[in-house]
C-alpha cells in the first residue's frame, strides 16, 4: 500500500515507457517487505528533473538515455568511477545530517552489471573479449573488462567513433571486414542490431561465432536474439540481455537501501513482464 511513509524511487529518461526496471525493483520491494515504489518518469529537462526529485523526497533514481551524461552537471557529487566512465545511471539523494539540505550523488552500475554477468560464465582476468559497438553501453562494458584485467578489442561500423573508444580504453580497434582475423574468449554485442522488430539481423557473421567461447547480447527484446541462437548452435555459452540489466539493477538497489535484493525474484519478474509484452 502506498501511504505517507512510502519511499520514492524511479527512472528518468526519454522515452521510459518501455523500461523493465519498474517491475524488477518493485518485485524486490514487495519480496523484502520494503514500503517503496519505483515509477517511470519521462524527462525532457534534466536540470529541472533533478531539482524536482530532490524536492519531492525521492531516494533513488535510475537514469537512462539520453540523460546519462547531461545529468552529471546537476549533481553535488559523482562517484570517481562514474566520473572516469563519463556517465551516470544511478542517483542517490540524501539529507545532510546538519543542514538538512538534499544532496544528489551519481554512480554508474552498468560496468558492474556487465562484469557480473560475464564472470558467471568466464574468467575475466587475462581473457580476451571483442565488443561490438562504441556507444554508451560499449563504454561501460569495455571499462569494466579493462578494470577486471581483460584484453578488449572494439569493433564498430563507424571507424572514427570506434577508434575513439579504443583509444580511451587503451585497447585495439578492429575493422568489421577484419573480424575474421579475431579469436577471443568472449564476444559482447552492445549494439541494437537484432532488437525487435528487426529481430533476424546479426551484428556479426554467424560463421565467425565458433571463434568465441562465450557470447553475450545486451538486447533483451527478443530475449533469445538471433545472435544468441546462432551462438548456441555453434557451441558457444550464451548470456541473454536480462543478465546485465538484472545485475546492474541489483547494485542500484544495494546503493539505495543498503540491502542485497533477491535476484531470483527480480529475474522472475523480468521474465514474466517480457512474456506479457510478447503475448
Instruction: Flag whether 219 is in a domain.
Output: yes
pLDDT above 70: percentage of residues in the chain: 100
Given the residues 68, 207, 230, 259, the one annotated as active site: 68
CATH number at residue 230: 3.40.50.720
Long-range contacts of 153-160 (CB under 8 A, 24+ apart): 153/128, 153/129, 153/182, 153/184, 155/130, 155/131, 155/179, 155/182, 156/132, 158/134
Instruction: Flag whether 46 is in a domain.
Output: yes
pLDDT in tens, 68-92: 999 999 999 999 999 999 999 999 9
pLDDT in tens, 231-272: 999 999 999 999 999 999 999 999 999 999 999 999 999 999
Please check the confidence at residue 203 and state whether its pLDDT lies above 90.
yes
pLDDT in tens, 14-27: 999 999 999 999 99
Is residue 259 annotated as part of the catalytic site, yes or no? no
Instruction: Flag whether 2 is in a domain.
Output: no
Structural domain of 155: 111-240
Instruction: Flag whether 155 is in a domain.
Output: yes
Instruction: Flag whether 147 is in a domain.
Output: yes
Q: What is the pLDDT of residue 100?
A: 82
Amino acid at each position: 500500500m502506498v501511504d505517507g511513509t512510502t519511499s520514492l524511487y524511479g527512472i528518468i529518461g526519454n522515452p521510459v515507457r518501455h523500461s523493465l526496471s519498474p517491475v524488477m525493483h518493485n518485485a524486490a520491494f514487495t519480496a523484502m517487505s520494503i514500503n517503496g515504489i519505483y515509477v517511470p518518469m519521462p524527462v525532457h529537462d534534466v536540470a529541472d528533473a533533478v531539482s524536482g526529485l530532490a524536492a519531492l523526497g525521492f531516494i533513488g533514481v535510475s537514469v537512462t538515455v539520453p540523460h546519462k551524461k547531461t545529468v552529471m552537471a546537476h549533481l553535488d557529487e559523482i562517484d570517481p568511477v562514474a566520473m572516469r566512465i563519463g556517465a551516470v545511471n544511478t542517483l542517490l539523494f540524501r539529507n545532510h545530517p546538519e543542514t538538512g539540505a538534499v544532496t544528489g550523488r551519481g554512480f554508474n552500475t552498468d560496468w558492474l552489471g556487465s562484469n557480473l554477468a560475464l564472470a558467471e560464465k568466464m574468467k575475466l582476468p587475462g581473457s580476451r573479449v571483442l565488443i561490438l559497438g562504441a556507444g554508451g553501453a560499449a563504454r561501460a562494458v569495455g571499462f569494466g573488462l579493462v578494470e577486471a584485467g581483460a584484453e578488449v578489442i572494439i569493433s564498430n561500423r563507424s571507424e572514427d567513433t570506434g577508434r575513439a573508444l579504443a583509444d580511451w580504453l587503451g585497447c585495439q580497434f578492429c575493422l568489421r571486414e577484419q573480424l575474421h582475423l579475431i579469436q577471443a574468449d568472449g564476444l559482447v554485442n552492445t549494439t541494437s542490431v537484432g532488437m525487435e522488430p528487426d529481430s533476424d539481423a546479426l551484428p556479426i557473421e554467424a560463421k565467425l561465432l565458433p571463434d568465441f567461447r562465450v557470447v553475450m547480447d545486451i538486447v533483451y527484446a527478443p530475449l533469445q536474439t538471433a545472435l544468441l541462437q546462432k551462438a548456441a548452435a555453434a557451441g558457444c555459452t550464451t548470456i541473454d540481455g536480462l543478465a546485465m540489466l538484472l545485475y546492474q539493477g541489483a547494485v542500484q538497489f544495494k546503493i539505495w537501501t543498503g540491502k542485497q535484493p533477491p535476484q531470483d525474484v527480480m529475474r522472475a519478474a523480468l521474465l514474466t513482464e517480457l512474456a506479457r509484452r510478447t503475448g
